Amino acid sequence: MRIVIFQDLKTIDYKKAWDYQENIFNKVLASRTTATSNRSNTDKTDAGYLLFCEHPHVFTLGKSGAGENLLINPDFLQKIGATYYKINRGGDITYHGPGQLVGYPILNLEALGLQVKQYIYLLEETIIRTLSEYGINSTRMDNSTGVWLDAGDSRKSRKICAIGVRASRYVTMHGFAFNINTDLSYFGYINPCGMADKGVTSLQKEMGEKQDVVEVSEKIKHHFSDLFSVNLKNS
């Protein structure tokens, strides 16, 4: 099995985490290039990294997103203690904040034998299987990445996990944002993922009580390791 290095960054400023991701991305990319040039390479540690963290209140807009999906002005951003970044992942606008588990897999997809679509599918499946442990049936939605509840009912459909990734030369960054104990009122300041008519939810809301983030994190790590056929090694 390939080894993926796991790091828990705790609560970290978004820009600081983004810069850290970029550094690791370049490291994994360099490792991939070295392995490609040396076909006898048998190092099993080049599969990459998985970072977990939480962010202070922040809105991020993907490279294909529309700025008007942020519904508030800079002065109001400051009033609610939030920041805003235009970033280099796919997708539209989303929110990160306390009580939300953010996962950044920085992976060498070539080492794992995966295409980008397969990679996104497995990320979604990781969350779907985690939610099933809480008795929650979740699915994908056609033409929209992420994990949804009641995806087939336009009146009830709501997203519980957003996914937005960047992949360059088969190395990934950015990832998923899973609402656990998230303050959902912040989603009211945006059109989440560019969808004005879709709702959002959290594990806390669906379960009716606050959830143990550490417990949820461990379940996600288990399913991630199983689905990607990797061993997670703490750093």
Range with the lowest mean pLDDT among 5-9, 10-14, 162-166, 230-234?
162-166
Q: Please report, for the chain, the start and end positions of each structural domain, with discontinuous segments joined by +.
A: 2-234
In CATH, 2-234 is 3.30.930.10: yes
Strands (E) in the chain, as ranges, are 2-11, 48-54, 58-61, 83-86, 93-96, 100-107, 139-141, 144-149, 158-168, 171-179, 199-200, 230-234
Active site residues: 193
Per-residue pLDDT tens digits for 33-89: 776 555 544 456 579 999 999 999 999 988 878 888 889 888 999 999 999 999 888
What's the pLDDT at 32?
Answer: 79
What's the pLDDT at 36?
Answer: 57
CA torsion angle for 26, 32, 34, 39 (degrees, to 10)? Answer: 180
